[in-house]
Amino acid sequence: MNAMEAAHLVAWLKGLFPKMTLEQADFWTDRFLPREVAPVERAVTRYAEQNGEWVDRPKLLALMDAESNWLRQPRFDRVRESERLRREAEDVDKFIAELSESRLAKLKADALREIQDPAIRTKLEQADPRRSATLKGIIYDIAKSKGAVAA
């Protein structure tokens, strides 16, 4: 999944569990990113149906693993996926590093308009777009969707 999809899923999770802190939202963003959207959605739905007011990390992670067969994936596929994610992160870093300050500011404003959760938006408003992995990913995804980045 891309950073915007992860941010939307985290906002949904925060809506289901309003006591979630920003640190927990960051944790879940990091855990959602290397996965596909559908299995994470199924896991969160299953978890929300069975649990109370807070998120039990090991339990939700186990559900996500079960839904995505993450643990059953052959090691070669996990290595290949890790390598793909590493290359993608390098592409994002290179893209962000090459942006002028004014272009970066415009893309950051575009990214912030896409984020519906006010708490996450407020946190990212204060974030440095050259340092925040979440903000960099969202900016990159927006630029890519506008054709500013080769797919």
Q: What is the pLDDT of residues 61-101, one digit of tens each?
A: 888 888 877 555 565 666 787 788 888 889 999 999 999 99
Q: What is the pLDDT of residue 130?
A: 92
Q: What is the pLDDT of residue 86?
A: 85
Cα 124 to Cα 109, 110, 111: the distances in Å are 10, 12, 9
* Tokens standing for residue 141: 């995804």
What distance separates the 2 farthest-apart alpha carbons in the chain?
48
pLDDT digits (tens), the chain, 151 positions: 888 899 999 999 988 888 888 888 889 998 998 888 888 998 998 888 877 677 888 888 888 888 877 555 565 666 787 788 888 889 999 999 999 999 999 999 998 998 888 888 888 899 999 988 888 888 998 888 888 776 5
Distance, CA of 21 to CA of 32 (rounded, Å): 16
DSSP 144: H
Q: What is the pLDDT of residue 48?
A: 84
| DSSP annotation string for 60-76 | HHHHHHHHHTTTTS-HH
Question: What are the structural domain ranges in the chain?
Answer: 3-145
Q: What is the pLDDT of residue 114?
A: 85
Which residues touch 40 (CB under 8 Å, ≥6 apart)? Answer: 1, 9, 32, 64, 67, 68
Q: Which long-range contacts (CB under 8 A, 24 or more apart) does 42-51 make?
A: 42/67, 43/67, 43/68, 44/9, 44/12, 44/13, 44/16, 48/16, 48/17
Q: What is the pLDDT of residue 151?
A: 56
Which residues touch 68 (CB under 8 Å, ≥6 apart)? Answer: 35, 36, 39, 40, 43
Q: What is the pLDDT of residue 78?
A: 66
Cα 34 to Cα 6, 55, 99, 146: the distances in Å are 9, 20, 25, 23
